[in-house]
Amino acid sequence: MSLFLATLIELKAELGIEDVRDDAILAQHAEGLQGRFEAHLNRFLLRAENAVELFDGGAPALLLSRFPVESVASVYVSADQTWDATTLLEADDYRLSAERGRLYYGTSGVDRWPAGVANVRVAWTGGYVAVGTPAASGQFAMPAALSGAFRLQFGFEWRNRKTLGTQSFGAQGANVSLAPAKFLAAVEDALSSFRRI
């Protein structure tokens, strides 16, 4: 995993760190926090090009793991997982809600996908471009609210790492392990609109 919610330069500026001595541990902690953000949001954030996912049919909508969605390259429906021209759907056989990453069967929005186990295959591109990388035409930049919340939580955890991570005290001093801290209230508020429920 690499940093995509903030750059290491931004995180160091937030903390007032100018040297490179702690870069490796800062990056490691930031990567772990990114994973916690994605787990909390119940979705992946970083853009993936030509991603492929298999879904069980029978649902009213398929929930793509990365959104907003830039494009859907192909959708197949096949009980025996034959992904060829005979099982390929036309673009007017489904409807996309790009902003929320939902793919509906049919155009009315009330039809369910044909029932089956791993019988729907979707190839698509979506998610947010990493902070520090310019978004090309049609791509979605990482929202400032997400990266701001990330920097806020990271700064809080790093500045308080000794007290947040203290697990026990012994004769030799404290045994320290960085346990995940609860998200700050301001971070929870900022993340709420990006969460997939």
* Domain extents in the chain: 8-45+137-192, 48-126
pLDDT score recorded for residue 146: 97
What pLDDT does 6 receive? 97
HEC string for 120-134: EEEEEEECEECCCCC
Question: How many other C-beta atoms are found inside a 10 Å radius of the C-beta of residue 38?
Answer: 16
pLDDT of res. 180? 66
Give the Cα separation of 4 and 47 in Å (integer). Answer: 10
CA distance 118 to 121: 8
Would you say 68 and 98 are in contact if contact means Cβ atoms under 8 Å apart? yes
Per-residue CA distances from 96 to 4, 64, 89, 102, 109 (Å): 26, 10, 13, 6, 10
Write down the pLDDT at residue 172: 55
Give first-to-last CA distance, the chain, whole Å: 24
- What pTM did the predictor assign? 0.85
* pLDDT at position 169: 47
The low-confidence residues of the chain, meaning pLDDT below 70, are 1, 109, 165-180
pLDDT of amino acid 96? 95
**pLDDT score of 171:** 53
Residue 174 is predicted with a pLDDT of: 47
